[in-house]
Structure 1
Amino acid sequence: MAFSSCKDKEEKEVVVSRTEGDVSILVDESFSNVVDDQIAVFQSDYPNANFKIIPGQESAILPTFLNDSVRVMISSRMLTSAEEKIYANRGIPVRASRFAIDGIALITSKENADSTITVDEVISILKGTSASNRSLVFDNAYSSTVRYFKELAGVKSLPKKGVYTLNSNDDVIKYIGLHKDYIGVVGVNWLLQGDAKGKDYMQQVRLMGVKNLQGKKGDDRFYKPTQNHLISGIYPFLRNIYIINGEGKLGLGTGFANWLVSQRGQLIVLKSGLGPHKLTSREFNLKN
């Protein structure tokens, strides 16, 4: 009986490696679609890999990562030195890898004749000094998109007039489709792969062209967040997508992080419409 009990325990032992086992991942919900695509292909190659995705706003998922509840996170920013020290004090190394480049799109109603804007004007709206009647509408007050634009404008809080927040990206798309004088702020990844609710209103909005600040790349004309402009870096509102891994072991999180920057993972990023971390060169053998 003792031998049988030991045998049962051995059979129930969970195998954890870079390609199998279980892992929980915190995901900034702005990037949930491209992460879902990556996981689907990864699991087609490694069916014993099980992922638990925990989506949320950046400010909501970061504390969970820092308190060691979940050790893998997808984010638009790297950890600060103070945040890295939290893991260092536990004796756990943290590794961050960029695997994609996302753009933040500005959208307007198709009924609006003017579909261009400068970075200067966006900053003036965020500072509350704009003389125009344009207003910005964000997905959520605690999203990574809001943080990006606050850092861009150098402000700690949003003005009471001219900048508004809703609850989701879908809410932004719907609102902009129905209100002419407002500008929506939405991640490119969400526009390309948003859910059915948002797509119902996509026909009512269009992308805006953005001209960068004088002296910076993209200051010569208005650029839209097409994939080519993301890859070339000429579109003004760009942000990196990182996988931050604090597993401290060679587990599934590490394997998935390596997969994201591999040739196959990068091809999936390219197919999603975003900018890959690294473009793989292709060689052709020409024969008569």
Structure 2
Amino acid sequence: MKKNVFFSVIIASLLISINGCKKKPSDPAEIKETAVAGSTTILVDETIFPLVEDLAILFENEYKRAKVHLVSKPENEIIQMIQQDKARIAILAKDLDSTEINYYNNTKKVYPRVTEFAKDAVAFIGSTNRTDSTLVLNDVLLALKGTPNGKIKTLVFDNPNSSTLRELKKLAGIKELPKQNVFSAHSNKEVVQYVTENEGAVGIIGINWLLQPTDDLLPYTSKIQVLAVENVKINAKNKFIKPNQTNIADGSYPVTRKLYLLNFQGATGLGMGFASYIAGQQGQRIVLKSGLIPTHFPTRQISVRDEVE
């Protein structure tokens, strides 16, 4: 009898222990959100998605109880979703201007936290069959204004709502695109594919997609060339500059932009944790390895030894 009672107590204890374990959530979606735990969604400018995807994977690897859901969208769509309260965290190739800040502060009663973490470039690409590997930026701006000079047959962008298109429209001082010789595709892959099939076309794409091409882009990368762009502001014999890491860092490449994480959560959450990670030493090393320029160059610890092993 005592033996049965003993086993009953053991079984009851095990059941209590099992039930107690079940109550501890292992799924990040069930965990209360903090700076390093829980689940959140981040909207990402599609022109820089490969870099942010790497950052998110390594962030989750560092913090096992955190899950970052990335949603790739064009810049304009992200801004609209933020304004409609459909999302609270975004990564964009633009900062907020004073009008936008006042709108969120006064209308939405939200005080966004903005974290700058990298610098990248808008790249111009052509077919490898193109005889001229250089590009005069003013020719691009003329084509955007609807007054091409014959040097560029076609300009093709990744998306009508993209940050690359917004950047070039700003440089050209226009609000609307001409009806001829300039059009938008639906993806980065379509831009690259179009350029390989049309020798006179110039594609405009975020450099991150060329530095970290996805599997569906790889078959086309050997068929395109990144064009060197004229920088009229520098006093040098060769004013045609390619968008490599050095030229982006020193500003000699003429079309660069900064990358930001915009956090509209209004409370401590994964947005704050992810922002701290990508702007910290580990995140900045990932940015550097990706071929882009970190806002803060990560330090290296150098140890000096008396003896050589």
The answer to whether residue 93 in structure 2 is matched with residue 76 in structure 1 is yes
2:4 aligns with none
- 1:31 corresponds in structure 2 to 48
Does 2:206 align with 1:187?
yes
Report the 3-state secondary structure (helix = DSSP H, G, I; strand = E; otherwise coil) of the residue aligned with 2:94.
Answer: coil
Deviation at 1:165, TM superposition (A): 1.3
Aligned partner of 1:16 among 33, 36, 50: 33
Superposed CA RMSD:
2.2
Contact 1:136 1:185 in 2 (8 A): yes
Unaligned runs of 5+ in 1: none
1:17–1:251 CA contact under 8 A, matched in 2: yes
Correspondence for 2:300 = 282
Is the 8 Å Cα contact of residues 66 and 86 (structure 1) preserved in structure 2? no
The answer to whether the 8 A contact 1:218-1:234 is kept is: no
TM-score by length of 1: 0.91
Q: Deviations over 1:111-140 (max 9, x none)?
A: 111110122222111112221241211111
Pair 1:40 & 2:57 matched: yes
Deviations 1:246-283 (Å, cap 9, x if unpaired)? 11111111010111110110000011111111113435
CA contact (8 A) 1:171 1:198 kept: no
Cα deviation 1:204-252 (Å, max 9, x = unaligned): 111101112x335889511111111111111111011110011111111
2:69 pairs with 1:86: no
Aligned letter for 1:54?
V
Q: How far apart, in 2, do the equivalents of 1:93 and 1:14 lie?
A: 25
> Which protein has the larger Cα radius of gyration, Structure 1 or Structure 2?
2
Name the structure 1 match of 2:177: 158
Cα–Cα, structure 1 residues 160 and 260, in superposed 2: closer, same or farther, change >3 Å? same
> 1:88-127, CA deviations, whole angstroms, 9 ceiling, x for partnerless residues?
1343221111111111111111111111012222211111
**Are the structure 2 counterparts of residues 201 and 267 from structure 1 closer, same or farther at C-alpha, using a change threshold of 3 Å?**
same
- Which of 252, 258, 281 does residue 270 from structure 2 map onto? 252
TM-score after normalising by structure 2: 0.85
Q: State the SS of the aligned residue for 1:99.
A: strand
Would you say 1:51 and 2:71 are equivalent positions? Answer: no
Deviation at 1:74, TM superposition (A): 0.5
Identity within the alignment, %: 35
